[in-house]
Amino acid sequence: MAYWQDRGKAPTACVDTFGCQQNVADGQRIMGMLQAMGFTFTDEPARADLVLLNTCAVREHAEKRVYGNLGALTHTKKANGAQVICLCGCMAQQPSVAKKVRESYRHVDLVFGPHALWRFPELLYQVYTRRGRVFSIDDEPGTIAEGLPVVREAGVKAWVSIMYGCNNFCSYCIVPYVRGRERSREAECIVEEVRGLVAEGYKDITLLGQNVNSYGRDLGTGMDFADLLSRIDGEVEGDYLIRFMSSHPKDATPKLFDTMARCPHVARQLHLPFQSGNNRVLEAMNRRYTREKYLELVNYAKDVMPGLVLTSDVIIGFPGETEAEAMDTVSLVKEVGFDALFTFIYSPRPGTAAAAMPDPATRAEKQVWFDRLLDAQNEISARQHAAYVGSTVRVLVDGESGDERWPLSSRTNGGRLVHLLGSRDLIGSFAQARITDSNTWALFGEAVE
| φ, ψ dihedrals at 251, nearest 5° | -110, 0
**Least confident window among 114-118, 206-210, 214-218, 264-268:** 114-118
Q: Find, among 271, 243, 193, 240, the residue nearest to 396 by Cα.
A: 240
Check if the beta carbon of residue 341 is closer than 8 Å to that of residue 311. yes
Q: Tell me: pLDDT of 5 over 60.
A: no
DSSP 8-state class, residue 371: H
pTM: 0.90
Q: Report which of 29, 415, 396 is spatially closest to residue 202, judged by C-alpha positions.
A: 396
* Strand, helix or coil for residue 316: strand
Q: What is the mean predicted confidence (pLDDT) over 56-70? A: 84
156 band by pLDDT with thresholds 50, 70 and 90 = very high
Residues 373-432: tens digit of each pLDDT: 999 999 999 999 999 999 999 999 999 988 888 999 999 999 999 999 999 999 999 999
Q: CA distances (Å), 375 to each of 364, 370, 372, in order?
A: 17, 9, 5
With cut-offs at 50, 70 and 90, classify the pLDDT of residue 243. Answer: very high
Nearest-Å Rg of the Cα atoms of the chain is: 23
CB atoms within 10 A of CB 68: 10
Query: Strands 430-438, 392-403: parallel, antiparallel or unpaired by DSSP?
Result: antiparallel
| Residue 263 assigned to a binding site | no
Amino acid identity of residue 226, one-letter, is: A
Residue 400 phi/psi, 5-degree rounding, is -90, 150
23 Cβ neighbours under 8 A, 6+ residues apart: 17, 54, 55, 56, 89, 90
The answer to whether 170 is a known ligand-binding residue is: yes
Distance (Å, rounded) from C-alpha 55 to C-alpha 70? 11
Q: Is 189 assigned a ligand-binding role in the annotation?
A: no
Residue 140 has pLDDT above 80, yes or no: no
Q: Which amino acid is at 94?
A: Q
Amino acid identity for residue 119 in this structure: R
Question: Which residues face 271 on adjacent strands?
Answer: 311
Residue 22: left (phi > 0), alpha (psi -120 to 50), or beta? alpha
* Beta carbons of 113 and 178 less than 8 angstroms apart: yes
Q: What are phi and psi of 171, to 5 degrees?
A: -65, -20
Q: If you count them, how many residues does the chain have?
A: 449
- Indicate the residue type of 346: Y
* 86 appears as a binding residue in the annotation: no
Q: Is the pLDDT of residue 445 over 50?
A: yes
Reported as type and span, the H/E element at residue 183 is: strand 183-184
Identify the band that residue 141 occupies on the pLDDT scale cut at 50, 70 and 90: low
Q: How far apart are CA 385 and CA 412, in angstroms?
A: 12
Percentage above 90 pLDDT, the chain: 81
Residue 4's pLDDT is: 52
Largest Cα separation within the chain, whole Å, is: 68
Using DSSP's 3-state secondary structure scheme, residue 419 falls into: strand
Give the number of other Cβ atoms within 10 Å of residue 372's Cβ. 17
- For all residues of the chain together, what is the average pLDDT? 93
What pLDDT does 2 receive? 43
Question: Span 364-369, mean pLDDT?
Answer: 98
> C-alpha 116: how far from its chain's center?
20
- Cβ proximity of 176 and 169 under 8 Å: yes
Tell me what pLDDT residue 1 has.
45
Which has the closest alpha carbon to 133: 99, 109, 98, 104? 109
Rounded to whole angstroms, how far apart are CA atoms 368 and 144?
44
- Using one digit for the tens of pLDDT, what is the confidence trace for 290-301? 999 999 999 999
